[in-house]
A and B are shown apart, each in its own frame.
Chain A
Amino acid sequence: MKGKVGILLAMVVLFGVIASGCIGSQETSETKTTSVELTGDFVKDVVAIGKALESNGVSEVKFSAWGSGDPNSVMRVYGIVEAARRINKVWEENGVNVRITITDTHYVASFQDAYQEYLSKQPLGQAGDFFVNSYAFLPTLADEGYILDITEYANAYKNVIEDFYPSLIEASKFNGKLYGLPQDTEARPLYIRKDVAAKIGFNLEGIEENVKSGEFTWSDVYYWAKKAKESGVEWGLIHRKGSAHPDLIQFIFAFGGKLYNEDSGKLVVDVPAVYKWLYVEWKFAQDGLLPKDIMSWDWAKQIHPAIVEGRTLFDIGGTWYWTEWQTKEYYGKEGTPRPLKPEEVQAWFAYTLFPAGEKGLKPVTLSQPFVWMINSKAGQQNPKYDELKDLYHKLAFLMIIKASDPDINAIHSVISAHLPVRKEAAKLISDEKWLNDLKNLNLDLDPQVKDNIKDIVATTVHPINAKFLADVSYMLEYTKLAPAHPKSPALADIFKEAVDKVLRGEMTPEEGVNYIIQKINADPELAQNVEVVGEIPKDWKFP
């Protein structure tokens, strides 16, 4: 009996296997064209990819877009949504029956958190197909194989690539290969309160030129900050905090130092420049011109209110502050906190480059471009991914080409006070008619995009803001980039700790420099990647 049951079971299993094989064979379809060569003609390439997908039975391509940053920078994800709409339109006009659907627009405030999430989810295949984040993370993502090498694709689109500012394209490379397209950039001006300056007799006329020529240095900043303090203003200088915001390392460049040795590929601790940076911070804090505990100040409740309420003469900030002050309720001087009006921002703030550290040196600014990056697994949620991977990847590349359209880039720049990355976008910003159309949202945009940016547009699209962007654009000629090196965040953390200790008076500037060197040497891996050059200068005076 047992034997019969066994034979019966074996037959059932065998039948099942054969049947499933037959059913499976019915589902198998022939894979047709799986590769399309990019020609540089956008419409032709999009149509060719669309047709190739269609011939393989694909009617819908799903992508997701991940972005992060300040509340006004949502075009970092809606740029992708708009790009999808524009490609869909091309397909529709050319009779291609395929559509792109953006399944997820994931936008978070902290770009470091977004990076952390991407890093943990990419290996699991759960990260966004498009990822826009700081170029500082690009080397690690590229090195780990988490983002797509688009060098070959970009070669076919030289006409578009050449319209980007070259330094920003360089920032999107790792080991000579291109891993993304610039999405935006910014400068970090030194803001000066005009009302406080007037109160202390600080004539701001020609200040920009004096800073440019290196006549107005950090000794002058100190002098006027002290005057402001003596006149009863709470602070002489307020600056940003944290290690991910590389504002303060501008001091290293302003004192003629460097952060990276291109010959050895190592990070550099330029001891004389770092010492001078720490000394300036220490001097300002010791003399009560800069809060000793600024590195633990609250952004929304302390840092921004102190600036917009005129409780400081100087502030080291970013260009995006200009519109952030117009959208966030930082100004509480009249009782109920409110955002500033464009006219107020214009009337209250002057702005210049970050002055030279001392006479004979040059002013600087620092940019941290954001970059459109493509997941190396982009398109994996779509049918026949393994066979059609090349098509999905090329389509993703064409998506970021489209998302870099001058008008999309210009919209982002105007509403978020970031600088455009393309020359064509810069031209649009200075076009009054186009600005008016943007103000009225009278542009050919996806309804979803319009709906999501309408409030930001209402408060930020203003001739004053466009003029500000035009005014600060020249700063890109002076810009420096923090090194895009996998060990850079670790070194930035150590710099931050040293600045904090020096500001609080726990260490002298000399001890601060030694602390940095000690911390680097304590980690053999970091020590291998960092060169310590120069010595603490003797008899150096500030101011």
Chain B
Amino acid sequence: MKGEKLRNLSFFLSPMIIMVGLFYLIPLIFTIYISFTKMRNWNIERYLTEVVGFYNYQRLFHMFQHDPLMRTVLLTTIVFVGITLIINVFGGLLLALGTFFINESSASAIRLLWLLPRMSPIAVYSLVWYYFFHGSNIGTLNSILMKLGVLSQPVPWGQIVPWGAWSIIIFVNGLVGVSFGMIVFTSALNQIPKELVIAARVDGASAWQISRKILVPMMKWHFLYVLTWQFLSLLTTYPHLFLLVQWDLVSRDYGTTLALYVYNTAFGRGEQDQGLAAAAAVLLSIIGILGGFVTLKVLQFEKMIHEPRGDIE
């Protein structure tokens, strides 16, 4: 009987285990290994076996100590992840709740509108904001404000450090990320029995009261999921940041997060230092694992896990 149970478990879990092993575990092990080699310029044949111990980590920590940009990278990562996370999670929640209380066709249109940034190709989407926030009079924002007489000369928004640069990267990524929370929370709201809401309505509860007392408490699991997922996603995201920094829209110092630093170090235009980048990526992974663990602990993830009530045997 025990063997049969193991066979059943293996059968159902194997696709997941293979996927996790192939796409998560092996790359992680490979990244850790590369961080101990002198790998650069994609020259696997030459450097894969050239193990240099903790050299890349020592170099990285030396740079953290002495390079002002590295400290800025860490600070930017904290601010970017922290504020964008709040926008993404609570923005998604507000949108889901907001569209819950209006008629379905209007709600669908609003949801679609908020999904557009996610559906747009990254380069196109980033280009829109490049021209919108451009620091000269070719920038749409500057042009509008100058025509309205608010500004007498253009403002280099992305070069006002730190908050100008931070605001742009947070805004651009926040717009993309908010739709993820909106979809998950909308899905969660649709699972809540309508009778509860109707009963509350009959008792005279306002939308705010219904949201606060009924809907939000019943979405705790989804809230935890969106929070953790978005945290890890923001920690590792870089495509929009890359373009905005590359196009000189935002200050390089205050537009570079740790994820973008890893990308630029590994695949930048000068020397491509994959060993050093792998060391930074390992650091990023450790931060991600610790952050994810803390989030789950704080929101008491284990209390939400119950033994199934039915017997599956």
Contact = CB atoms under 8 A, between A and B. Distances in A.
B64 to A, nearest CB: 9
Contacts of A487: 271
Contact of B270 (A123, A295, A489): A489
B66 A296 contact: no
Interface in B147-184: 156, 158-159
Contact of A116 (B46, B66, B135, B269): B269
Interface in A448-485: none
A16 to B, nearest CB: 30
Max count, chain A CB within 10 A of own CB: residue among B45, B136, B156, B158: B136
A116 B271 CA distance: 10
B42 interface: yes
Contacts of B249: 296
Interface in A505-543: 515, 518-519, 521-525
B135 A144 contact: no
A230 interface: no
A115 interface: yes
Interface string B122-154: 000000000000111010000000000000000
B63 A140 contact: no
Nearest to B269: A112
Contacts of A488: 270
Interface string B99-134: 000000000000000000000000000000000001
Contact of A298 (B43, B70, B136, B267): B136
A120 B40 CA distance: 11
Contact of B63 (A119, A486, A504, A523): A523
A119 B41 contact: yes
B59 interface: yes
B271 A301 contact: no
B269 to A, nearest CB: 4
Scoring B67, B70, B158 by chain A CB atoms within 10 A of each residue's CB, the highest score goes to: B67
Contact of B138 (A119, A123, A302, A525): A302
A123 B47 CA distance: 12
A293 B43 CA distance: 38
Contacts of A497: 252
B310 interface: no
A15 interface: no
Contacts of B43: 123, 144-145
Interface residues of A, number: 38
Contacts of A515: 68
A209 interface: no
B136 A293 contact: yes
B198 interface: no
A115 B136 contact: no
Given A119-B272, A120-B267, A525-B59, A140 B41 contact: yes
Contact of B46 (A120, A145, A296, A518): A145
A140 B271 contact: yes
A113 B268 CA distance: 9
B41 A523 contact: no
Lowest 5 CB-CB distances: which A-B pairs, in order? A489-B270, A522-B67, A296-B248, A522-B66, A112-B269
Given A119-B41, A120-B267, 17 more contacts: A116-B267, A119-B42, A123-B42, A140-B271, A293-B159, A296-B156, A296-B159, A298-B134, A301-B138, A489-B271, A490-B271, A515-B68, A518-B66, A519-B67, A522-B66, A523-B63, A524-B62
30 contacts: A113-B269, A116-B267, A116-B269, A116-B272, A119-B41, A120-B267, A122-B42, A123-B42, A123-B45, A140-B41, A144-B46, A145-B43, A293-B135, A293-B159, A296-B156, A298-B134, A298-B136, A301-B138, A486-B271, A492-B270, A493-B270, A518-B66, A518-B68, A521-B66, A522-B62, A522-B70, A523-B62, A523-B63, A523-B67, A524-B62
